[in-house]
Structure 1
Amino acid sequence: MKLLKRISAAVVAAVAIVVGPLAGHDAMAQEKPKTIYLAVGTTSSEYWQEVIWGAQQVASSVGAKLEVYESGFDGQKHMQQLGAILAAGCEGCAFAWFPDSTAFTKAFVERAEAGGAFMTTMWNRPEEIHPWDTASDAWIANISFDGVDSGYQNGMALCKAIGGKGGIAVLKGTPDNPPSKQREIGLLKAVSECPGMTILDTQIGNWGQTEGQNITRTWIARYGDQLKGVFAQNDGMALGAVAALREKGLAGKVPVTGSDGSSDVLKLIKSGEMLSSMRISSQLHGAVAAALAYAVASGDLKIGDLAQAQRDFYLVQTLATKDNVDAMLSAQPNPADFSYDALKKNFWARSKGQIPVGVN
């Protein structure tokens, strides 16, 4: 995407290290937040660059500063960063935060509540807690995408591509991670409906391209012609799988699926080297998370007025295949669609519904 060059440059400028105190709670009731704090896993991946871009559109549209905190998927680092911000005095602040795993979610939202701040979370909510029963005065909402649907649709695409018969291998993200768990549930559902498709092996790839490539190399050596397809739980690992298959002249012959719908993967779907990827709107993810946090912190929205389906929900997504990839590659996000005023008309306009019980 042409947009990514601009996003990448903005990301470098946006990453924050030191944060100063903001106004107290009484002042915040009259004065809108001057800063939105955004936590991301990394600033180097296309997905997170687009999350930052979406949040930046919201911040810019209200004259606020966006401060970005990168953890390298280290929850302790995000814990230290959050602690430093709150210790400086941040009552009434707006946080759009990524819990690196479910092990950190409760601690993040409880710290926000203790500091008088407001927080939305992205992706990782433990099954047993929700925004309405844990730190409920601070935790506004958890926003994610339907991993079960992603796993199922990609799994069924693989089933069709291999003629309903043969062995596939699975590149899994990380343990203790709802998206990884959900995509596995969806894949297993597809396997149950495609009994001729079997899983040869599952390995943890930690969402990484290098890990995906190394693991796939091993599978090619071990299974040879038995390996009929690769199911990768994200695009990074899928790109690694394609790289390993290229080394043996197998790219395009062994179908590979992913999830995220990154521009690099969309191009591979167009060329035939990849089969499919669940395209999620990462720009929307960042924008909605930031907009809801700002809305509550500014007094435009009251947490107590929100229904459960407005506090724990999926955003819409679309499976990218060769049939629709040209339209996806040519689409460019309109910054005006991600402004605070545009989103405020209905923060849930592109919600797919409440996250069901049992998938986290």
Structure 2
Amino acid sequence: MKILVTGGAGFIGSAVIRHIIHNTGDSVVNVDKLTYAGNLESLASVSDDSRYTFEKVDICDRKALDEVLERHQPDSVMHLAAESHVDRSIDGPAAFMETNIIGTYTLLEAARQYWNTLDANGRQVFRFHHVSTDEVYGDLEGPEDLFTESSPYAPSSPYSASKASSDHLVRAWLRTYDFPTLISNCSNNYGPYHFPEKLIPLMILNALEGKPLPVYGEGTQVRDWLYVEDHARALYKIVTEGKVGETYNIGGHNEKQNIEVVHALCDLLDELVPEKPEGINRYRELVVHVQDRPGHDLRYAIDASKIQRDLGWTPEETFETGIRKTVQWYLENSEWCQRVQDGSYRRERLGTGESI
């Protein structure tokens, strides 16, 4: 099978591509605009594989999408390209509306036109898998409540509102055009190759440099943490075995308060990096509480029983095993981190010949 993955140079997209190339016989076409969060160095382990192809294309560019689809003739599309950082969406929502809403619409129409050109067998096989977030559901009130596939949408940020909109578009294309779509909504991901503006890598790298570890409010916001390689396995399960028209929630069964996550990182670093920056006895001393961001959801938690029941997927990593692997990866890949932090990963796009 040949799978076209949008946003394949991003954190989750690159994990999906690495999983497919390393663990299946399928081919991948990576379509990515290469915004600040797109890093082809995250795909160095597969970049020379004959089953992997990269296309620098903006999903808002209909002509370019048509050309890529016609030339590569994929059997499925996995749509991960998105602007995804909540703080950035608060400061500048326009890019989120453009990429997450207009981009999804443009991709849906290009894929639908391509699907209409396929023979009966090709149309039967084809799938359009839209990858979304649990943030479209808003937040939960009770400590025992869980998001299910039928939870009502109540997005709180420009980011989650744009993702909710894209989900609705995908369902409309299924209902109106019988276009074979699937949707998945996942909880917070973490793991290797995560862009350093996100909570876990930011805390690791700041701690190593003796910088403050900023925590919003009291840090009591609860998230369900999902190791990114577990997520990649789930996404591949959905696109290859999922039922058209279905939605699958993907969670890690690891609910933690943000402050618990930060403390766990500090304690691991105390163990793994005993030589601390000057003046620091324990990394927890670097934690500082800052003003909470507007509209900050208090609690997310996923009921992932459907994907377990229907597709046989469960996460392999506990939070304890996954967070240890994550910290060790960042300690062992300081060069990757440095190139992201100083911007050199953008100046020398690996394998594209592009200079930025």
Tell me which interval the TM-score lies in, with the shorter structure as reference length. Answer: 0.3 to 0.5
TM-score, L = length of structure 1: 0.34
